[in-house]
């Protein structure tokens, strides 16, 4: 049998929303000690979408630089992972396909399993590329994380999209076999169709996450995966950055290792920079962790990164990826820093208005106010349809 090509992440581009609310502002308005946010959960600010932004506009903003760099000739599939879907039938990726002018000979589909969906997209894409290494798959993870005002989860909201081009001979990260899998039927976090905000049992969800980490690591090692010492860094799903710390401590304990702060910081410290300023971006969060790692860590050439993707409900997958020589020439640190820095800071009253904002659901025509300075916007609703446009 012919040797299989290396397949993985060839390009990775992130985008976020127009507004930002700092945790200082949130703490000043709800009376919390800001240290709880800064140190306790590791968050400094959260992205908040403008009324003319959503998962589609962020996804198109993330994917446009990928298409500009690599063209569309080899992209035959778009996988759009989200848990903040804008339609029950139509895949959000079709709007992105249209905004970016991709060829009609493209397969487009939307995937859902809470925050795990982006990893399902990545793994399905790898399978497609193995079937035909001349093809590339655009995997997009885009989410707006929203909890009810005053709930403990409120401080962990956020919004972002990550677009990844998956192909053979990748320029950034080769994704390896095996994967460790874990599924358990738990109700730690969910969002019924009739709600715009998620329901969560916060502390139960942390236990469920750690249980899933154990289960997927166990399956990974039983399938002949690498040993703990072979990893140079760990990218964990980050509902809030301190969760990466908790997860890595848990894994070290589970493996019978001594746990010390420097060891944990060395393993996860470089993965939290973007999530700390953006908040939870659900499906995109682990890949924002990867973006931060690739953009900010010392040379990672040849280093192996462990990935733990967790989606409440719950599904988890542990897998490894190795950073490719020359990857630095393909990262996007300036673009990512600019996306974070250009956000407009809002006060608490504006945040509350945006949090409550919802279009009427009567099928009428409702233009969205022109606010975002991003490249794409939601122009409004017309006859039950969402209308998107380049800005
Ligand atoms: N100074 C410093 N630290 C402080 C502090 C202070 N003044 N006050 C509290 N802290 C620390 C606490 O000790 C705690 O740290 P440890 O866990 O290390 O002990 C941390 O800050 C949080 O404090 P609490 O547990 O008291 O906070 P909380 O009750 O408000 O809940 C939360 C925190 C459960 C994360 C809540 O924000 C929440 O429900 N978030 C949404 C759910 C979530 O993110 N779950 C994660 C796993 S599920 C998942 O990963 C999927 C997903 O994306 C949702």
To test the pocket of ligand 1, the residue of 148, 152, 182, 235 to mutate (highest count of ligand atoms within 8 Å of its CB) is: 152
To test the pocket of ligand 1, the residue of 205, 248, 275 to mutate (highest count of ligand atoms within 8 Å of its CB) is: 205
Q: What is the pLDDT of residue 390?
A: 98
What CATH architecture applies to the domain 7-390? 3-Layer(aba) Sandwich (3.40)
Q: What is the pLDDT of residue 2?
A: 67
pLDDT digits (tens, 9 = 90+) for 178-203: 999 999 999 999 999 999 999 999 99
CA–centroid distance, 167 to ligand 1, in Å, is: 37
To test the pocket of ligand 1, the residue of 31, 146, 148, 239 to mutate (highest count of ligand atoms within 8 Å of its CB) is: 239
User: Domain spans of the chain?
Assistant: 7-390
pLDDT exceeds 80 at position 25: yes
Task: State whether residue 105 is helix, strand or coil.
Answer: coil
Q: What is the pLDDT of residue 3?
A: 80
Known catalytic residue at 115: yes
Average pLDDT over residues 154-169: 98
**Atom 19, ligand 1: residue with shortest CA distance:** 40
Average pLDDT over residues 36-64: 98
Known catalytic residue at 83: yes
Q: What is the atom index within ligand 1 of the atom nearest the CA of 198?
A: 54
Cα–Cα distance measured from residue 385 to residue 391, given in angstroms and rounded to the nearest whole number: 19
Give the list of residues 6+ apart from residue 279 with CB closer than 8 angstroms, or none: 43, 45, 46, 47, 145, 156, 157, 158, 159, 240
Cα–Cα distance measured from residue 172 to residue 135, given in angstroms and rounded to the nearest whole number: 17
Cα–Cα distance measured from residue 40 to residue 38, given in angstroms and rounded to the nearest whole number: 6
Average pLDDT over residues 325-353: 98
Average pLDDT over residues 322-342: 98
pLDDT digits (tens, 9 = 90+) for 290-303: 999 999 999 999 99
Q: What is the pLDDT of residue 270?
A: 98
Q: How far is CA 100 from CA 39, 78, 206, in A?
A: 40, 12, 38
Return the DSSP state at 149. Answer: T
**Atom 40, ligand 1: residue with shortest CA distance:** 153
Residues with CB under 6 A from ligand 1: 33, 35-36, 39-41, 115, 152-153, 155-156, 188-189, 200, 202-203, 205-206, 209, 237, 239-240, 243, 280, 282, 310, 312
364: its two tokens: 């009428």
Give the list of residues 6+ apart from residue 181 with CB closer than 8 angstroms, or none: 216, 219, 315, 316, 317
Average pLDDT over residues 234-246: 98
Known catalytic residue at 237: yes
Q: What is the pLDDT of residue 167?
A: 98
Q: What is the pLDDT of residue 4?
A: 86
Task: State whether residue 373 is helix, strand or coil.
Answer: coil
Return the DSSP state at 100. Answer: T
Average pLDDT over residues 279-290: 98
The catalytically annotated residue of 10, 237, 250, 336 is: 237
Residue 1 confidence class, pLDDT cut points 50, 70, 90:
low
pLDDT digits (tens, 9 = 90+) for 76-126: 999 999 999 999 999 999 999 999 999 999 999 999 999 999 999 999 999
Average pLDDT over residues 53-61: 98
> What's the chain's average pLDDT?
97
Average pLDDT over residues 321-326: 98
**Atom 39, ligand 1: residue with shortest CA distance:** 202
First and final CA of the chain: distance in angstroms? 50
Average pLDDT over residues 269-275: 98
Q: What is the pLDDT of residue 233?
A: 98
Average pLDDT over residues 46-66: 98
What pTM did the predictor assign?
0.98
């Amino acid at each position: 049998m012919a040797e299989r090509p290396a397949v993985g992440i060839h390009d990775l581009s992130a985008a976020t929303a127009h507004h930002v609310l700092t945790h200082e502002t949130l703490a000043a308005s709800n009376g919390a000690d800001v240290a709880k946010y800064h140190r306790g959960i590791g968050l400094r600010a959260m992205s908040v979408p403008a009324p003319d932004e959503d998962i589609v506009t962020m996804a198109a903003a993330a994917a446009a630089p990928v298409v500009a760099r690599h063209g569309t000739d080899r992209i035959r599939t778009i996988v759009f992972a989200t848990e903040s879907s804008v339609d029950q039938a139509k895949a959000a990726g079709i709007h992105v396909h249209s905004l970016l002018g991709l060829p009609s000979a493209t397969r487009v589909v939307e995937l859902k399993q809470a925050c795990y969906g982006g990893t399902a997209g990545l793994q399905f894409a790898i399978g497609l590329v193995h079937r035909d290494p001349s093809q590339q798959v655009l995997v997009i993870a885009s989410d707006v994380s929203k909890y009810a005002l005053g709930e403990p989860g409120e401080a962990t909201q956020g919004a972002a999209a990550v677009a990844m081009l998956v192909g053979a001979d990748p320029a950034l990260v080769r994704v390896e076999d095996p994967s460790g899998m874990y599924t358990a039927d738990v109700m730690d976090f969910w969002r019924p169709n009739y709600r715009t905000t998620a329901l969560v049992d916060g502390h139960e969800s942390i236990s469920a996450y750690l249980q899933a980490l154990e289960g997927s690591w166990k399956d990974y090692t039983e399938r002949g995966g690498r040993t703990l010492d072979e990893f140079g860094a760990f990218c964990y799903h980050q509902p809030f950055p301190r969760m990466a710390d908790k997860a890595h401590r848990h894994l070290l304990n589970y493996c019978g290792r001594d746990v010390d702060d420097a060891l944990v910081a060395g393993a996860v410290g470089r993965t939290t920079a973007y999530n700390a300023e953006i908040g939870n971006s659900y499906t995109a969060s682990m890949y924002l962790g990867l973006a931060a790692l690739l953009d900010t860590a010392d040379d990672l050439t040849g280093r192996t990164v462990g990935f733990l993707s967790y989606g409440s409900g719950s599904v988890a997958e542990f897998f490894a990826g190795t950073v490719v020589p020359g990857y630095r020439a393909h990262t996007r640190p300036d673009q990512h820093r600019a996306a974070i820095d250009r956000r407009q800071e809002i006060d608490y009253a504006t945040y509350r208005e945006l949090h409550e904002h919802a279009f009427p659901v009567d099928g009428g025509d409702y233009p969205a106010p022109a606010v975002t300075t991003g490249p794409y916007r939601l122009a409004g609703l017309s006859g039950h349809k969402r209308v998107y446009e380049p800005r």
